Amino acid sequence: MQPKVSVRGLPLYKPGKSLEEVKREFGLEDVIKLASNENPFGCSPKVWEALEGIKGEFQYYPEGAAPELREKLAEHLEVDPRRLIFGNGSDEIVQIIARTYLDRGDESVMADLTFPRYETVTRIEGGVPVVVPLKEGVHDLEGMLAAITDKTRLVWVCNPNNPTGTIVSHEALSDFLDRVPPHVLVVVDEAYHEYVTDSAYPDTISLLDYNPQIIILRTFSKIYGLAALRIGYGIAHPDVVAELERVREPFNVNRLAQKAAIAAVEDETFVFYCRTQNRIGISQMTEKFDEWGLSYFPAHGNFILVDTGHPADEVDEYLLRHGVIVRSGLHLGFPTHIRVTVGKKEQNERFLEVLHAYLHKKGK
């Protein structure tokens, strides 16, 4: 029995190695994971408190529309609650968008080196991914505009971009949106939004007021530290949300996730702490990269894509053997780069020590 044509030969998502796997494979006890852009500080302690009372509720389905979280988040973001849609991770919203808007043969425009799910969900729907190369690691919005045809339905802008960590500015995004034709929806994936401190970073919600063709994606998996619970959200015009809601599964966001997200939004001190520590961690790493003459992309999220000058898989393997899991750039389109998540101070120190030992061994 063959699967449908669009699924045949689709590459499988290759997740990084887990802590447990590396411990087993290399016989190590002490392993750190800086591979999946998770929050090294965990989540707010308020989340733990909020989840304590939920044990007696497991037999009940969650409320599909997440009304309590919707209200809380709408207030926090200062948006109309009808502008929100929740997903089992923002991954699920990426899928819902493709399912809602792509017919067979429709085109969706994306950067060549960006979050891989945009391409996968496009292909699953029988759509055609149209890729526009990054320019020095940054989305080429002019190029993306030029790639739009009558068949284009979606454009994906990942901001900060994963894996490069670069951003497009408010001005550039706003100018781009003004020129995108009305038959196209622009998805602005802001999974790392809360980490960004650069004042040029777009206030995309304010752009939504004038431009009904934007869907903003955010997540609780990154700075809020709730990746295990799987919850993300989209912000869009109520008419767009209403279409997406037709495709959303009825109970897609579980009770634990909804409760946890409410508590997470309330704890702004935790978010502030993580953002500050992240900036310190970026400086800690980039100072060393500068000292060693390694180039890297400007990091606006909680990860850095750095060029080691050596085969990425070899560097990755060396780091693994020494108990540090990062992401090889090979499968991300950068054969000599590694993508490292910014960890706690001592984790960053350990990573830098091992990387330095590798470079030293190579005579650099």
Ligand X SMILES: Cc1ncc(COP(=O)(O)O)c(C=O)c1O
Q: How far is the CB of 66 from ligand X (least distance, A)?
A: 15
Which element (helix H / strand E) includes 47? helix 45-52
Closest CA to 257 of 7, 37, 47, 39: 47
Closer by beta carbon to ligand X, 227 or else 299: 227
Closest CA to 303 of 164, 167, 191, 169: 164
Q: How far is the CB of 217 from ligand X (least distance, A)?
A: 7
Closer by beta carbon to ligand X, 316 or else 359: 316
Q: How far is the CB of 11 from ligand X (least distance, A)?
A: 17
Q: How far is the CB of 314 from ligand X (least distance, A)?
A: 25
Closer by beta carbon to ligand X, 89 or else 329: 89
Q: How far is the CB of 223 from ligand X (least distance, A)?
A: 12
In the chain, the amino acid numbered 133 is: P
Closer by beta carbon to ligand X, 195 or else 318: 195
Token representation of residue 270: 């935790």
Q: Give the C-alpha distances (Å, rounded to integers) separating 308 from 100, 113, 211, 290, 296.
A: 41, 18, 41, 12, 9
Closest CA to 44 of 202, 218, 266: 266
Closer by beta carbon to ligand X, 198 or else 287: 198
For β-strands 232-236 and 84-87, DSSP reports them as: antiparallel
CA angle (237, 88, 10) in 5-degree steps:
100
Contact residues: ligand X, CB under 6 A: 37, 89-91, 115, 158, 162, 189, 191, 219, 221, 227, 232
Q: What is the DSSP string of 252-271?
A: -S-HHHHHHHHHHHH-HHHH
340 with 326: CB under 8 angstroms?
Answer: yes
Which element (helix H / strand E) includes 216? strand 214-219
Distance CA 3, CA 253 (A): 28
Closest CA to 346 of 324, 364, 319, 329: 324
Q: How far is the CB of 2 from ligand X (least distance, A)?
A: 29
Closer by beta carbon to ligand X, 37 or else 352: 37
Closer by beta carbon to ligand X, 160 or else 281: 160
Distance CA 349, CA 354 (A): 9
Burial of 113 (0-12, 13-18, 19+ CB in 10 A): buried
Q: How far is the CB of 164 from ligand X (least distance, A)?
A: 11
Q: Which residues pair with 338 in a beta bridge?
A: 306, 328
User: Whose structure tokens read 């089992």?
Assistant: 88
User: Whose structure tokens read 């960890």?
Assistant: 343
Q: How far is the CB of 359 from ligand X (least distance, A)?
A: 27
Q: Compute the radius of gyration of the chain from its Cα atoms.
A: 21
Closer by beta carbon to ligand X, 274 or else 359: 274
Closer by beta carbon to ligand X, 163 or else 323: 163
Q: How far is the CB of 155 from ligand X (least distance, A)?
A: 15
